[in-house]
Chain A
Amino acid sequence: MKHLLSIADLSREEILQILETAVSMHEVQHRDVKKLPTLRGRTIINFFFEDSTRTRSSFELAGKWLSADTINLTGKGTSVSKGESLRDTVKTIDAMGVDMMIIRHMASGAPAQIAQWTKCSIVNAGDGMHEHPSQALLDAYTMRQRLGDLEGMHVALVGDLTHSRVFRSNVLCLAKLGARVTLVGPPTLMPAGIGPWAQAEDITISHDLDAVLPTVDAVMMLRVQRERMSGGFFPTAREYAVTYGLTNERLSLLPDHAVICHPGPMNRGLEISGDAADAAQSLVLDQVSAGVAVRMSILYHLLSGEGSAA
């Protein structure tokens, strides 16, 4: 494994290996000395062309706790704003001799393209409306912590599917782990052409959240990405919240053992109510905590082992 660009590139065994290692990494997170010497002397650049709180800080912490040197760059404040092309920017950084670039970019496929241009390892930390593989891995990790093996579990992904890279990575990851997936959302927020694909992948599509909730083991509420919307996807925020939000009333429809996930940042009162976000079944903060451990595991798997030296 040199790059992490898409969940599609990982086998079920590789996914399980990353999740297994993350369990040990999670223990390190609770120690007084949160540092392992594993990636000493390695250099990791966090290159974020889009805003991010948890992904960027958890990748940075993950690198630091494994003793790698980490640097953060954003689109703003670099030569990108002076008009340098993406290719020139990343080749410049590659020429400095870094071992890994963690890329978030608004264009789908940018990390895969950068991997062609550079010698270092590339991690996709979210590209446009394509994928967010580390998020899917940490979601799987968090759900496994609470539910055990995901084989045969029923997971519903609810909300703004069109704009969601989290959903795309999660569907691939959950399928490889043997979970049953149902997608719920308004027809306007379903990606074009999803019907035949869902049929081929054995994925159920529903527009009735109330009917789905009583049958799930986990429900993942996706953020309504207003920054990517030019309007017209649903009449009003209020109507969306009533039809597709996880409201206080809907909370009671969930089976007792079922868990609630949200990749964050949450729009409280829109796709998820405050009570649902803070409920005992809610794994929102567990997801954040797991995020660092899973990302440590990802860095370890990409940057150690034979032939990992760039």
Chain B
Amino acid sequence: MCPARDQVSPGETAETGGRVVLAQAEINRALRRIAHEILEGNKGAEDLVLMGIPTRGVPLAHRLAAALHAVEGVDIPVGTLDITMYRDDLRSQPVRAMERSQLPEDGVDDKVVVLVDDVLYSGRTVRAALDSLADLGRPRAVRLAILVDRGHRELPIRADYVGKNLPTAQAERVSVRLVEIDGTDEVVISAPEGEGR
């Protein structure tokens, strides 16, 4: 049962129920730290390209670019990588609308591409993203930056940069909400629907 609005305790959202695990300030801090880690790992900003995976990886990639700009003072190219056509579950899900892929002007050949997404779960999205990227060019290296790693991998894939490791049960739902799309910045864990808390 959802609690009444005035009974919501701190750390819960009134709208949907569930527990807020990252608020705006923490999301921003995580992105700033990831920006530093990327620069450290790459020994500077040279050849870096950020590719956001729709939907919420795209605004995250732009925020990461802003954070990188704040640290290093350079503009990192940002692109969009739609993976719809590369999914392995196209035959078992309703037809999905395809989003637009957008390559940065100089492409991805010989660049260090950092894939950006909100949640890392089974790893299947990243697998699809790697295949999609291979059709667009040949990056020198590909890295993976993730806001929330919730575990339960089904493929041998790991993230290079993680905002927060979040142990979850498989039945739980992790929702990332971003100002650009949802009007608010938060990461929420909620119990599976139909089960009371």
The CB with the most chain B CB atoms within 10 A, among A35, A38, A301, A304, is that of A304
Of residues 91 through 113 on chain B, the ones whose CB sits less than 8 Å from some CB of chain A are 91-101
Complexed CA–CA distance, A301 and B90 (Å): 10
B99 — which chain A residues lie within 8 A by C-beta? 24
A24 — which chain B residues lie within 8 A by C-beta? 82, 98-101
The answer, yes or no, to whether A27 is at the interface (CB within 8 Å) is yes
A35 touches B95 (CB 8 A): no
Q: Shortest beta-carbon distance, A35 to chain B, in Å?
A: 7
The answer, yes or no, to whether B131 is at the interface (CB within 8 Å) is yes
B85 touches A27 (CB 8 A): no
The answer, yes or no, to whether A74 is at the interface (CB within 8 Å) is no
B135 touches A38 (CB 8 A): no
Complexed CA–CA distance, A27 and B98 (Å): 12
Minimum CB distance partner of A308 in chain B: B91
The answer, yes or no, to whether A267 is at the interface (CB within 8 Å) is no
B135 touches A31 (CB 8 A): yes
Q: Shortest beta-carbon distance, A260 to chain B, in Å?
A: 28
B92 — which chain A residues lie within 8 A by C-beta? 306
A308 — which chain B residues lie within 8 A by C-beta? 91
B86 touches A306 (CB 8 A): no
Cβ contacts B143-169/A at 8 Å (1 or 0 each): 000000000000000000000000000
The SS class assigned to the A binding surface is loop
Q: A36-B85, A38-B85 are known contacts. Are A304 and B90 too (CB-CB below 8 A)?
A: yes
A304 touches B136 (CB 8 A): no
Complexed CA–CA distance, A24 and B54 (Å): 14
Minimum CB distance partner of B131 in chain A: A37
The answer, yes or no, to whether A89 is at the interface (CB within 8 Å) is no
B82 touches A305 (CB 8 A): no
B98 touches A37 (CB 8 A): no
A229 — which chain B residues lie within 8 A by C-beta? none
Q: Shortest beta-carbon distance, B86 to chain A, in Å?
A: 6
A17 touches B97 (CB 8 A): yes
Q: A306-B92, A309-B91 are known contacts. Are A38 and B86 too (CB-CB below 8 A)?
A: yes
Q: Shortest beta-carbon distance, A300 to chain B, in Å?
A: 8
A35 — which chain B residues lie within 8 A by C-beta? 135
The residue from A17, A25, A305 contacting B90, defined by CB atoms under 8 A apart: A305
A309 — which chain B residues lie within 8 A by C-beta? 91
Of residues 121 through 155 on chain B, the ones whose CB sits less than 8 Å from some CB of chain A are 131, 135-136
Q: Shortest beta-carbon distance, A301 to chain B, in Å?
A: 6
Minimum CB distance partner of B137 in chain A: A32
The SS class assigned to the B binding surface is loop
B90 touches A23 (CB 8 A): no
The answer, yes or no, to whether A215 is at the interface (CB within 8 Å) is no
Minimum CB distance partner of A41 in chain B: B91
The answer, yes or no, to whether A95 is at the interface (CB within 8 Å) is no
The answer, yes or no, to whether A21 is at the interface (CB within 8 Å) is yes
The residue from B82, B91, B100, B135 contacting A304, defined by CB atoms under 8 A apart: B91
Complexed CA–CA distance, A46 and B101 (Å): 30
A27 touches B101 (CB 8 A): yes
A305 touches B101 (CB 8 A): no
Complexed CA–CA distance, A38 and B84 (Å): 9
A23 touches B85 (CB 8 A): no
Q: Shortest beta-carbon distance, B93 to chain A, in Å?
A: 6
A31 touches B136 (CB 8 A): yes
Q: Shortest beta-carbon distance, A53 to chain B, in Å?
A: 27
Q: Shortest beta-carbon distance, A22 to chain B, in Å?
A: 9
The CB with the most chain B CB atoms within 10 A, among A17, A306, A309, is that of A306
B135 touches A20 (CB 8 A): no
Of residues 33 through 49 on chain A, the ones whose CB sits less than 8 Å from some CB of chain B are 33, 35-38
The CB with the most chain A CB atoms within 10 A, among B82, B91, B136, is that of B91
Q: Shortest beta-carbon distance, A294 to chain B, in Å?
A: 13
Q: Shortest beta-carbon distance, B48 to chain A, in Å?
A: 22
A21 touches B94 (CB 8 A): no
Minimum CB distance partner of B88 in chain A: A37
A21 — which chain B residues lie within 8 A by C-beta? 97-98
Closest 7 CB pairs of A and B: A305-B95, A36-B85, A304-B90, A24-B98, A38-B85, A33-B135, A21-B98
The 14 listed contacts between A and B (C-beta, < 8 Å) are A24-B99, A25-B98, A31-B136, A33-B136, A37-B85, A38-B85, A66-B85, A300-B85, A300-B95, A300-B98, A305-B93, A306-B92, A306-B95, A308-B91
